């Protein structure tokens, strides 16, 4: 392509080192979409004859068919996807194929292809997230009245419903969807027309190209257009945070599947065994997903490190911006699919959860609040309740297992009605503040999330 300037051929090792074809051939169909839009814009602007535009578009459609059928003749010596397609186009339609690159550079061309690729990936993430939220809603509806300990510091804190616990993850994944939608406004900007870095002398219409490709706007500055990779960094951050949320859920699955908890039974299809210990049923899928989150964080840091010292405008370093995102896309999309299947089939052991409610004095806060209702200041009520807990613990009893006269040793404000307050089911029912764990609050959360999904068009 540049032999007009160079006398010597490129060293074969340099060709191998600089070739990006193994990565950017993933952009082939997006490159064709962008090229068709560019060709039609050139015709609309009178830069190409209409007959030339038709021949170019027909040739590109033929190449698209070859790529989809796996018959396209990729050539490593042509370095990247853009030159491969342009070379093949010229083979098919002749010299007119060389006119396609009028008014553009590979700099704005690859930026466009990458944006279209990231857009499609994030649309896929959004769909998988919504499917996972739907599964969480379904399992929450099944377990509105299943109680288990809620934890802080991984220590028993207060009783909550399993539905309430699962819906917390539903809210995390909802925010992930909303982050995707917000980031998409910046991803979905067309850079085509910026050319190499300074714009072009041809009377291009970047707005036409953007509309043809369903993009929400165009660049404001040609140097920024070809050097901007903020949209990749932002997408990688969104992907990393999705993996954070999946990893937190995986951590709880791993804990809950341990017989010391016994809250869940792993489906055979989502567990592995041991080569030496016949009894083992290992949560390998959850462990791997937890581990892959670290991989996506590394991809984000890799891109940020790549970008931090680059001068304007395009630099060949940017060839290394694609593998991190492609890997993150693979990990995020597969992890979301797997988690939806897992959560749909995991068995929740409500009887084991019920047993665990008897340990850890989960109704201690209820006693403190009860004393407050009798006119005792909260700090004093907190102190009294702590004394009661210590007394019960030393005797191996629960709070509700203490006799009334034992409780009254600590406060004469305590009367027979305290046992109703100490009942764990009623304790959950009383947590009716907005967003709380009471059945009516949980039902409101479910309805709200269902309505949100319906607005997204996700059934």
Rounded CA gap, 314 and 14, in Å?
20
Contact 62, 89 (CB under 8 A): no
353, β-bridge pairs? none
Look up tokens 């714009």; give the residue: 199
Rounded CA gap, 189 and 221, in Å?
12
Contact 415, 452 (CB under 8 A): no
Residue 12 annotated as catalytic = no
Contact 349, 386 (CB under 8 A): no
Tell me which of 274, 345, 373, 415 is the catalytic residue.
Answer: 274
Q: CB-based burial of residue 16 (10 Å sphere; 0-12 exposed, 13-18 middle, 19+ buried)?
A: exposed
Residue 105 annotated as catalytic = no
What does each C-alpha distance from 158 to 47, 134, 231, 292, 387 come to in angstroms?
Answer: 71, 27, 42, 32, 18
Q: Which pair of structure tokens corresponds to residue 124?
A: 């896929």
**CA-angle at 222, arms to 217 and 224, nearest 5°:** 85
Q: CB-based burial of residue 68 (10 Å sphere; 0-12 exposed, 13-18 middle, 19+ buried)?
A: exposed
Contact 425, 448 (CB under 8 A): no
Tell me which of 82, 101, 153, 275 is the catalytic residue.
Answer: 153
Rounded CA gap, 187 and 35, in Å?
19
Rounded CA gap, 127 and 181, in Å?
12
Nearest to 367 by CA among 340, 391, 344: 391
Rounded CA gap, 1 and 157, in Å?
69
3 state SS of 80? coil
Q: Which helix (H) or strand (E) holds 155?
A: strand 155-161
Rounded CA gap, 277 and 70, in Å?
46
Contact 259, 282 (CB under 8 A): no
Which active-site residues does the annotation give? 153, 274
């Amino acid at each position: 392509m540049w032999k007009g300037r160079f006398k010597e051929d490129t060293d074969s090792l340099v060709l191998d080192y600089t070739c990006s074809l193994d990565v950017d051939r993933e952009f082939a169909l997006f490159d064709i979409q962008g090229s068709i839009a560019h060709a039609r814009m050139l015709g609309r602007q009178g830069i190409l004859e209409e007959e030339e535009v038709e021949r170019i578009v027909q040739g590109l459609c033929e190449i698209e068919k070859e790529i989809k059928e796996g018959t396209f003749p990729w050539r490593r010596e042509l370095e990247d996807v853009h030159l491969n397609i342009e070379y093949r186009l010229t083979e098919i339609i002749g010299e007119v194929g060389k006119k396609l690159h009028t008014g553009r550079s590979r700099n704005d061309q690859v930026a466009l292809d990458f944006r279209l690729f990231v857009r499609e990936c994030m649309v896929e993430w959004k769909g998988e997230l919504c499917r996972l939220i739907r599964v969480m809603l379904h399992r929450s509806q099944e377990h509105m009245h299943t109680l288990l300990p809620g934890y802080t510091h991984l220590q028993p804190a207060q009783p909550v419903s399993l539905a309430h616990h699962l819906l917390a993850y539903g809210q995390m994944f909802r925010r992930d969807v909303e982050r995707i939608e917000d980031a998409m406004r910046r991803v979905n900007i067309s850079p085509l027309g910026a050319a190499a870095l300074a714009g072009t002398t041809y009377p291009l219409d970047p707005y036409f190209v953007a509309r043809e490709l369903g993009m929400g706007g165009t660049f404001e500055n040609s140097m920024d257009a070809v050097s901007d990779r903020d949209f990749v960094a932002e997408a990688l951050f969104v992907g990393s945070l999705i993996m954070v949320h999946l990893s937190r859920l995986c951590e709880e699955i791993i804990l809950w599947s341990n017989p010391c908890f016994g809250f869940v039974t792993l489906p055979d299809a989502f567990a592995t065994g041991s080569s030496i210990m016949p009894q083992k049923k290992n949560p390998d899928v959850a462990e791997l997903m937890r581990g892959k989150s670290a991989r996506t964080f590394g991809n984000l840091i890799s891109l940020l490190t790549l970008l931090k010292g680059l001068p304007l405008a395009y630099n060949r370093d940017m060839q290394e911006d694609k593998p991190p995102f492609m890997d993150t896309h693979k990990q995020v999309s597969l992890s979301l699919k797997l988690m939806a299947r897992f959560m749909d089939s995991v068995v929740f052991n409500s009887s084991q959860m019920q047993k665990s409610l008897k340990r850890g004095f989960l109704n201690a806060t209820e006693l403190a609040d009860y004393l407050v209702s009798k006119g005792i200041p909260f700090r004093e009520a907190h102190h009294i309740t702590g004394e009661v807990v210590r007394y019960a613990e030393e005797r191996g009893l629960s709070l509700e297992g203490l006799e009334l006269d034992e409780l009254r040793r600590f406060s004469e404000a305590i009367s027979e009605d305290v046992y109703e307050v100490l009942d764990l089911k009623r304790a959950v029912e009383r947590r009716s503040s907005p967003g709380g764990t009471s059945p009516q609050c949980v039902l409101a959360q479910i309805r709200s999330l269902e309505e949100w999904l319906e607005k997204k068009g996700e059934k």
